[in-house]
Amino acid sequence: MSQSKCAKCGHSTFEMVENTPERSQFPVMFIQCAQCGTVIGVQPNENIPALLHFIKGMLVEMMQKSGLSTRYIED
């Protein structure tokens, strides 16, 4: 597998940096060159699968306390 390089400066180390672009309501994570700061990718600020797993756990707990079936929610 070839090594990823910055298209601008050729550096091969990248970093995640939180940024809120103008006219954006939410912060996002820039994947950028650690040397020159050129942005090569953007992803949501939060880990959506981890957040969904957390919400699922809370929902199952609330349903169990209320005596509701969780068979369609739990694995």
Residues that bind Zn ion (CB under 5 A): 6, 8-9, 11, 33, 35-36, 38
In terms of CB distance, is 35 or 45 closer to Zn ion?
Answer: 35
In terms of CB distance, is 7 or 58 closer to Zn ion?
Answer: 7
C-beta of 15: minimal distance to Zn ion in Å? 11
Beta bridge partners of 43: 29
C-beta of 6: minimal distance to Zn ion in Å? 3
In terms of CB distance, is 11 or 56 closer to Zn ion?
Answer: 11
C-alpha to C-alpha distance for 6 and 35, rounded to whole angstroms = 9
C-alpha to C-alpha distance for 41 and 22, rounded to whole angstroms = 17
Nearest CA-CA partner of 46 in 58, 31, 29, 32? 29
C-beta of 34: minimal distance to Zn ion in Å? 8
